[in-house]
Amino acid sequence: MDSGNAAWMLMSAALVLFMIPGLALFYGGMGRGKSVLNMVLMNIYCVGIVPLVWVLGGYSLAQSPSGNKFLGNLDLFALDGIGPSQDLIVVAFLMTFAAITPALISGAVADRMKFGAWAIFVPIWSLLVYSPVVYWIYAFDAEGNAAGLLNTGLLGDIGSLDFAGGTAIHINAGVAALVLALLLGKRRGWPNNAIPPHSLPLVMLGTGILWFGWFGFNAGSALGADGFAAQAFMNTFLAASAGMVAWLIAERIKDGHFTVLGACSGIVAGLVAITPAAGFVAGMSGIWIGAIAGVICYFAVSLKYKLGYDDSLDVVGVHMVGGIVGGVLLGLFADPGAFADPEVFEEAASFPEGLFYGGGTELLFEQIASIVVVMVYSFIVTMAIGLALKAAIGLRVDEEDEIVGLDNRLHAETAYNHVELAGKSGSGFGGSVDVRERSDSPTSTKADAR
Amino acid sequence: MDSGNAAWMLMSAALVLFMIPGLALFYGGMGRGKSVLNMVLMNIYCVGIVPLVWVLGGYSLAQSPSGNKFLGNLDLFALDGIGPSQDLIVVAFLMTFAAITPALISGAVADRMKFGAWAIFVPIWSLLVYSPVVYWIYAFDAEGNAAGLLNTGLLGDIGSLDFAGGTAIHINAGVAALVLALLLGKRRGWPNNAIPPHSLPLVMLGTGILWFGWFGFNAGSALGADGFAAQAFMNTFLAASAGMVAWLIAERIKDGHFTVLGACSGIVAGLVAITPAAGFVAGMSGIWIGAIAGVICYFAVSLKYKLGYDDSLDVVGVHMVGGIVGGVLLGLFADPGAFADPEVFEEAASFPEGLFYGGGTELLFEQIASIVVVMVYSFIVTMAIGLALKAAIGLRVDEEDEIVGLDNRLHAETAYNHVELAGKSGSGFGGSVDVRERSDSPTSTKADAR
Amino acid sequence: MDSGNAAWMLMSAALVLFMIPGLALFYGGMGRGKSVLNMVLMNIYCVGIVPLVWVLGGYSLAQSPSGNKFLGNLDLFALDGIGPSQDLIVVAFLMTFAAITPALISGAVADRMKFGAWAIFVPIWSLLVYSPVVYWIYAFDAEGNAAGLLNTGLLGDIGSLDFAGGTAIHINAGVAALVLALLLGKRRGWPNNAIPPHSLPLVMLGTGILWFGWFGFNAGSALGADGFAAQAFMNTFLAASAGMVAWLIAERIKDGHFTVLGACSGIVAGLVAITPAAGFVAGMSGIWIGAIAGVICYFAVSLKYKLGYDDSLDVVGVHMVGGIVGGVLLGLFADPGAFADPEVFEEAASFPEGLFYGGGTELLFEQIASIVVVMVYSFIVTMAIGLALKAAIGLRVDEEDEIVGLDNRLHAETAYNHVELAGKSGSGFGGSVDVRERSDSPTSTKADAR
Amino acid sequence: MKLVTAIIKPFKVDDVKEALKSIGVQGMTLSEVQGFGRQGGHVEVYRGAEYNVDFVPKARLEVVVDDGQLDRVLDVMTVAARTDKIGDGKIWVTEVDRLIRIRTGEMGADAV
Amino acid sequence: MKLVTAIIKPFKVDDVKEALKSIGVQGMTLSEVQGFGRQGGHVEVYRGAEYNVDFVPKARLEVVVDDGQLDRVLDVMTVAARTDKIGDGKIWVTEVDRLIRIRTGEMGADAV
Amino acid sequence: MKLVTAIIKPFKVDDVKEALKSIGVQGMTLSEVQGFGRQGGHVEVYRGAEYNVDFVPKARLEVVVDDGQLDRVLDVMTVAARTDKIGDGKIWVTEVDRLIRIRTGEMGADAV
Ligand SMILES: Nc1ncnc2c1ncn2[C@@H]1O[C@H](COP(=O)(O)OP(=O)(O)O)[C@@H](O)[C@H]1O
Ligand SMILES: Nc1ncnc2c1ncn2[C@@H]1O[C@H](COP(=O)(O)OP(=O)(O)O)[C@@H](O)[C@H]1O
Ligand SMILES: Nc1ncnc2c1ncn2[C@@H]1O[C@H](COP(=O)(O)OP(=O)(O)O)[C@@H](O)[C@H]1O
């Protein structure tokens, strides 16, 4: 790797890491003021525990050439054999993806999941669900040929495409979010009572950080600072813009007003949908993909009311649905020919074309098949992990914790303590709801297994 | 472009994009709590609509070699002929500039502009004002020679200089801001009643993001990671620091205290002023330019009280005035000789010197002439667009909307819903002012053309 | 420097600059709502004044080859002889370090220091404490050989190691923080009354920005985008993750709950501790260093209650202690052999090994000796500056200022003005505490020397 | 003396304050409250879902007045706070036994 | 008429509101307050240090009711707000001399 | 029983609370309010412009006390809240007809 490519990859890894506090603000702002810290902690915890799991075993399972289609081996345990070198940049880059994927799930379990259960769920899910799916889509054998279940072709000899993790990350996390939402059940009062975002400026800030970081996510997935990365960058940019505008128009027509939450949701929907396609489409395709995702996701976030699952912060509606939209549209818009210029990306020529660019329906079917496989696998294994945890320690907090708020009851903290009426003494904790209650229900007992 | 230059340009484009949520926080925090979302949406909307307009036509108008001094043609419609390649990075980089320029204007129209009018104003202004001005300053013919009205020399044979958009962006947007402030009139109660920033921590955060992003804005305008970029980086750094310190000293002397809003305004003033000069001055000039801008802008933000226009968040006082200060001082401090080392920037030798570096007054007059031309053009065309919109759909919201707050009335949202007194049911919307009022004035009617 | 390395260094300098608003939020959120602006201003003021001091004299004192072991000369006054070139990137990169170091101190003086005293303290401390210490650790003579007191070896012929500023920055600032906390005395009511963080979401955001920026801090200290930088990046990542997890576990066991403040503190503790070691350790050492620092700092932040100094936001407990942990552990974990591959870093071979990698105890003793020297010097000189300022203008605000809040009394601002009950007129300042009081104690008098 | 408590629309605070000032009222105390009343039962649409909103923001003004001033104060307040739309609010009056100005220790009518 | 003021636990607001609605109360006013009572004197542990917490968040409900309704209202409130734990709060009743509905100018019992 | 309502300077809350505790008052309720009074009419300078500030932050303490305790409570409060500067605030007293402790259902003086 030359220094220029290395510079871009170092930067991309940092950018994706920065997405995690961005996501914490995006979700935290969208949720309740009395459980924002719980949401924040669920997110940043992922970037604590997952990197440790990743360097020990996750990376090896996901990326080592094991000779089979399903899973890597443990040859790279504790990064065995990877000394100080630029190779580490790619390990670190992928580590940020591993960390953000379970964090995405957290939005669906807002306000009601035991923190202890989450703390155990995350590393297990990372090893049992994330690493295998990544292997299927991105594994290469020792000669550098595609080796995974899904990149070698399920239905024929062409493999499905997923540039930066539409299927591996967004659909995968979205399905897991659905499973946990089903297992946890609805929040008290939902859907009759409004639970509006407690801080939309934080949501906007989180969205801004996500967009900024997503350039690292997508253009960094080119693994260098070349024309390939440039196109991925441009597609990411246009899809987010188009997603925002499309969502704004849809909500203006249906609901009568333009909202900040709508603009932010549209941006994220566009970003999710372009993720699998960023390095495989050219020209104005990014606009189409973003705009279509913006409209479809706008409608998808209302599904939960019809179907009755409490996907609190719309992980399913935006990440799962947006990921599916992007993955399927890639079957239409994939245009490797545009990249064929050897200065851009030599190997592009070997990728399949989409329906609109002369490739027929083969890629489209591969895309759909891959998506279905990942959805089924993620659903089943996440369900198994969830049921096991439920049986072992329970997934859901007490009703009183939910009413009083998770921040106070689980974490002994309150997010905001702006008011200090009593100048000298202890009303500082005054922002909290029923702090004193803990005298009735000692923390030491209640905190167990949270 | 080698991979190192490409890496820096990818990063620079991402940095400038990140400035837009930064600007939304800077303005949003400085404004009222009841219209912060309106401000945020005006800003992020720009990075939704402008990129679409830019790739379709704006870029072509601004950058295609058309053979005249005034405007490009539409040969690059929908980026025709620009396939996946590193050229796209520059298109994307310039796209972020196009997006942020109208966003700058929004600060002047806070608390009282119809969102629908803004939504239409932005793309039109981008095509009719922004693209032509960019062409005048940055157009090159097919052989790479300066071709625009202002970079070919208005008064003689040397063109005016504008490294990263002092005239094209800050003065241009500042004048448009003045026009809209004049057309909209004053906010109710202004200037008798204080309208203090509703969240200074957000202002500080926004400023931090702007400064961070401004390194991409200015040092990215070197279009590579060379000594030229290094000097632009250093100048940007020093001018912001000096602007902050100068403003703090000025306000300490005149008002008696150091303020956070003063420090932030000084930073931005310094950054604006160094923008046209960043790659043309060396040594300690950045400190002088930043410090002078800090002091002048400190006085300029009070002008509105004397002259009576309600430039709500000081777009005119900081961006227009700061841009003028920088543009004029460049006529004094320009020192292309310092860059002449071929390793730094070969072509620098062909740029004109400022008064202090042996160039006489020619550059100074060119700078002033260019600034005047852009100001006049921006004033007239913005006024025409504004008047047309005013006649067609009106620019200003109803008085009641203004009193109750734009967030609630236009966007059906409230920024903060920290308090959830009623644990179970719907007081979540409680943070809003007179939500219920909408039963009297149905959204469906009122929202029209906003 | 090739363009790739330059791109990474430009980016790294921008990243470290961005840490300063991050730090302002981290500290500001952790402190009181009525003095958050004072905290913010103490931080951003550093990035105003220090760069000016740095380019004038600080850089020259810290980095010019003067031929002695103790201090540079003033040959590089006003960057004399450093024209536009990539060398400026390194000057700017180091300038961000100079700016953030005194900002770190501010957390210890929260809620009670005169702003005027701080304004004078910062540039003096930067010249008298920061520049010399940097010289001792990082000075090179004209031939590029180590020349400073501490990098030439105190106890023998091998010098101590400090990759990115564990001793020069974190221990140095931590000791100065302790000195000022001692000189200022305790805040009213401390430690009997709780002073909880006024906004934990801001703390989390600040932490996220710090982590993001720390990649520039540490991996940028490789001065290029090579394997050395890659390893520093990976170590930085793992140490932060491990620090977070370790702190969370420690507080769960001792206090009964996982907290957001704990997670954030653990991240910072891990980052501080890996700073001196980032480019000298390999494999899983980053995890060990981060985890050990997380646990030790968790205990260290309680020391102030036992010893009775009011280190308000735990600068001593995290930065001084974390820096010592990292510096000492480097004596154990240093593994230059791992870097010996000439493609990674040729000169690594000349660095000493730690105890665990066959180097015996020599490096360990050098590390300890260097740390002690810096601590003693920083303590004495900071104490002298502090005492002089105390005698001259006083360090501590009036009791009434402290009760009412520094934002209102020193800066005439209030951080949050969310509520605008009175639609039309001046209750906008309503968020402030006793604004009116100033009629009794005119600002003009009181503001003197603040 | 009487304590007049008024629950009004937030954006009417200023009109009421000015009206009271104009008839010589020299002090009052304002707080933020949430009101539930006939206005209640409204339905909001947000992000594609419908919600009942029960409590709406109101302002609460407390003014202690001399018995003689009471009628004028009530008249002026009622007029200034009125928008003729539902949710305009209530005013209630209670008897004050004692009143003290803290600074001076003055009592009763002198302390108003 | 009477003014009933209740200081209750914040998460009980909804139960009390629903209970009052069910017996025909059509309006009430809610505010955030901080309470100090027997509950006081609790010790918190945070970041390794112990603190006394004096004031805890409470909700304050004000309801103006007809004299005839008073007993029912008090009964219903007491039951709905009770958790049987310390800190459940207080209810006090004061006499209202006059009541005005701002929108219509109605007075007295009609204005409730 | 009486309800004592005091509007005081925010940074005096703690002194008043401690003073009341010291004479055996076991409960009180605190809220944030904004006050307008003689203090009013002050001019602020910010960012080069001048503003009138009408409302300033105050704290509002409510204490229900036995008739016998009333005088002591008023004395103690007045002293503890005083700074001798304008804006120190007011205290007013109203009659309480009934008082209920929610947890136990106790009524009247027992419920204080
Ligand atoms: N019985 C009551 N007790 C206390 N406050 C009341 C009562 N009825 C109404 N309010 C207050 O008055 C406000 C306006 O009442 P509402 O019934 O909505 O309007 P209107 O009085 O115009 O018919 C309510 O939001 C509430 O704060
Ligand atoms: N004398 C009083 N005056 C005013 N408010 C009181 C008084 N006593 C208690 N309160 C309020 O009632 C709340 C509950 O009182 P507390 O003594 O804690 O519980 P309980 O009434 O269940 O014994 C307090 O937090 C305070 O807001
Ligand atoms: N008539 C009144 N009714 C209700 N509250 C009042 C009244 N007069 C004063 N207050 C409250 O008392 C506070 C202090 O009153 P002010 O006139 O400023 O000071 P002082 O009583 O020391 O002369 C005011 O801010 C306001 O909250």
Helix (H, G, I), strand (E, B) or coil at D69: helix
Task: Determine how many CB atoms are found less than 10 A away from the CB of residue A187.
Answer: 19
The pLDDT-based confidence of C430 (bands split at 50, 70, 90) is: very low
Overall average pLDDT of the D80-97 stretch: 94
C307 Cβ contact partners less than 8 Å away, ≥ 6 residues apart: none
Structure tokens at E13: 């607001």
As to burial, measured by CB atoms within 10 angstroms (0-12 exposed, 13-18 middle, 19+ buried), residue A439 is: middle
> What's the first-to-final CA gap in chain F, in angstroms?
9
DSSP C416: B
DSSP A63-80: HS--SSSS---STTGGGT
Residue E42, ligand 2, Cβ within 6 A: no
DSSP E40-79: --EEEEETTEEEEE--EEEEEEEEEE-GGGHHHHHHHHHH
Q: Tell me, what's the pLDDT at C402?
A: 93
B373 Cβ contact partners less than 8 Å away, ≥ 6 residues apart: B136, B149, B150, B154
As beta bridge partners, residue F65 has F2
CA separation for the pair A168, A370 (Å, rounded): 10
Q: How far does Cα B274 stand from its chain's mean position?
A: 13
**Among D45, D47, D51, which would you mutate to test the A interface (most chain A Cβ atoms within 10 Å of its Cβ)?**
D47
Chain E residues close to B424, C-beta within 8 Å: 11, 14-15
The residue behind tokens 């900071």 is C382
Supply φ then ψ for residue F32, to 5 degrees: -90, 130
Task: Determine how many CB atoms are found less than 10 A away from the CB of residue A445.
Answer: 8
Q: Tell me, what's the pLDDT at B437?
A: 30
Structure tokens at F84: 């001798």
CA separation for the pair B297, C124 (Å, rounded): 29
At B215-229, the pLDDT tens digits run 999 999 999 999 999
Quote the percentage of chain F above a pLDDT of 70: 91
Beta strands in B225-335 (DSSP E): none
| Cα-based distances in Å from D59 to A147, B206, B407, D29 | 67, 32, 19, 10
* Distance (Å) from CA E70 to ligand 2 centroid: 21
CA separation for the pair B306, C340 (Å, rounded): 68
DSSP C170-186: IIHHHHHHHHHHHHH-P
Nearest residue of F to residue B196, measured between CA atoms: F46
Ligand nearest to the CA of F35: 3
Mean of all residue pLDDT scores within chain A: 91
Chain A residues close to E51, C-beta within 8 Å: 426, 428-429
At F22-55, the pLDDT tens digits run 999 989 999 999 998 876 655 666 787 777 667 8
Mean of all residue pLDDT scores within chain D: 89
Closest approach atom of ligand 1 to CA E63 = 3
Supply φ then ψ for residue B31, to 5 degrees: -95, -165
pLDDT string in tens for chain E (112-residue length): 999 999 999 888 989 999 999 999 989 999 999 998 876 655 667 787 777 667 888 999 999 999 999 999 999 999 999 998 888 999 999 999 999 999 999 998 888 8
Measured between CB atoms, does D46 come within 8 Å of chain B?
yes
Distance from CA of E48 to the nearest CA of C (A): 6
One-letter amino acid at C386 equals G
CB contact under 8 A, D13 and C423: yes
Number of H helices, E strands in chain F: 2, 7
> Could you tell me the domains of chain B?
3-392 (1.10.3430.10)
CA separation for the pair A19, A272 (Å, rounded): 13
Structure tokens at C418: 């969310």
Chain C residues close to A20, C-beta within 8 Å: 208
CA separation for the pair C108, A232 (Å, rounded): 45
At E6-23, the pLDDT tens digits run 999 988 898 999 999 999
Q: Are strands F28-36 and E56-65 parallel, antiparallel or unpaired?
A: unpaired
The pLDDT-based confidence of A195 (bands split at 50, 70, 90) is: confident
Measured between CB atoms, does B423 come within 8 Å of chain E?
yes
Q: Tell me, what's the pLDDT at C333?
A: 98
CB contact under 8 A, C196 and E46: yes
**Among B34, B89, B223, B234, which would you mutate to test the C interface (most chain C Cβ atoms within 10 Å of its Cβ)?**
B234
> Residue B450 pLDDT > 50, yes or no?
no
CA separation for the pair A372, C242 (Å, rounded): 36
Asked if A365 and A155 touch (Cβ cutoff 8 Å), the reply is yes
Asked if C240 and C214 touch (Cβ cutoff 8 Å), the reply is yes
- Ligand 3 neighbours, Cβ below 6 Å, are D 27-29, 62-64, 101, 103, 112; F 7, 35-39, 58, 86-90
> Residue B443 pLDDT > 60, yes or no?
no
CA separation for the pair B44, B39 (Å, rounded): 9
* Distance (Å) from CA A193 to ligand 3 centroid: 40
The protein residue whose alpha carbon is closest to atom 27 in ligand 1 is: D35
CA separation for the pair D73, D22 (Å, rounded): 10
At C141-168, the pLDDT tens digits run 999 899 999 999 999 989 999 999 999 9
CB contact under 8 A, D17 and C421: no
Cα dihedral sign, A108-A114-A116-A117: negative
Measured between CB atoms, does E105 come within 8 Å of chain C?
no
* Distance (Å) from CA F28 to ligand 2 centroid: 6
Structure tokens at A401: 């914790």
Of A158-167, B228-237, C348-357, F85-94, give the lowest mean pLDDT range.
C348-357
Chain E residues close to B423, C-beta within 8 Å: 10-14
* Distance (Å) from CA F35 to ligand 3 centroid: 6
The residue behind tokens 């990411």 is A236
Residue E85, ligand 2, Cβ within 6 A: no
Quote the percentage of chain A above a pLDDT of 90: 84
Chain D residues close to C425, C-beta within 8 Å: 14, 17
CA separation for the pair E58, F30 (Å, rounded): 9
Q: Tell me, what's the pLDDT at C192?
A: 79
Ligand nearest to the CA of D17: 3
Helix (H, G, I), strand (E, B) or coil at B192: coil
> Residue C352 pLDDT > 50, yes or no?
yes
CB contact under 8 A, B423 and E14: yes
Measured between CB atoms, does A263 come within 8 Å of chain B?
yes
CB contact under 8 A, C255 and E44: no
This model of the complex carries an ipTM of: 0.94
- Ligand 1 neighbours, Cβ below 6 Å, are D 7, 35-39, 58, 86-90; E 27-29, 62-64, 101, 103, 112
At C270-310, the pLDDT tens digits run 999 999 999 999 999 999 999 999 999 999 999 999 999 99
Of A300-304, A429-433, B366-370, give the lowest mean pLDDT range.
A429-433
Beta strands in B182-237 (DSSP E): none
CB contact under 8 A, D11 and B403: yes
DSSP B222: G
> What's the first-to-final CA gap in chain C, in angstroms?
45
As beta bridge partners, residue F91 has D100, F6
Measured between CB atoms, does E88 come within 8 Å of chain A?
no
The residue behind tokens 């200074």 is B200
Q: How many CB pairs under 8 A join D and E?
A: 80
The protein residue whose alpha carbon is closest to atom 5 in ligand 3 is: D28
Distance from CA of C424 to the nearest CA of A (A): 24
Among D14, D30, D32, the residue with its CB nearest the CB of C424 is: D14
DSSP E85: S
Ordered alpha helix ranges (H), A139-222: 172-184, 200-219
Structure tokens at D90: 């209530």
Closest CA to C265 of C314, C338, C309: C314
> Residue A171 pLDDT > 80, yes or no?
yes
Ordered alpha helix ranges (H), C282-320: 285-300, 303-307, 315
At A142-155, the pLDDT tens digits run 998 999 999 999 99
Among D11, D34, D52, the residue with its CB nearest the CB of B421 is: D34
The pLDDT-based confidence of B143 (bands split at 50, 70, 90) is: very high
CA separation for the pair E8, A133 (Å, rounded): 52
> Residue F83 pLDDT > 70, yes or no?
yes
Pocket residue to mutate for ligand 1, from E2, E29, E64, E94, most atoms within 8 A of Cβ:
E29
Of A133-137, B249-253, C98-102, D40-44, give the lowest mean pLDDT range.
D40-44
Q: Tell me, what's the pLDDT at C439?
A: 31
CA separation for the pair B206, A231 (Å, rounded): 29
Q: How far does Cα B294 stand from its chain's mean position?
A: 17
**CB crowding D47-79: b at 16 or more within 10 Å, else e:** bbbebebbbbbbbbbbbbbeeebbeebbebbbe
At C100-147, the pLDDT tens digits run 999 999 999 999 999 999 999 999 999 999 999 999 999 999 998 999
Ligand nearest to the CA of F73: 2
Asked if B70 and B59 touch (Cβ cutoff 8 Å), the reply is no
CB contact under 8 A, F103 and E92: no
Closest CA to A401 of A21, A32, A122, A106: A32
Asked if B150 and B378 touch (Cβ cutoff 8 Å), the reply is no
Supply φ then ψ for residue F43, to 5 degrees: -115, 130
pTM higher than 0.90 = yes
The pLDDT-based confidence of A400 (bands split at 50, 70, 90) is: confident
DSSP A410-436: HHS--SB-----SSSSSGGGGGSSSGG
Structure tokens at B360: 């006489």
Chain D residues close to F74, C-beta within 8 Å: 98, 100
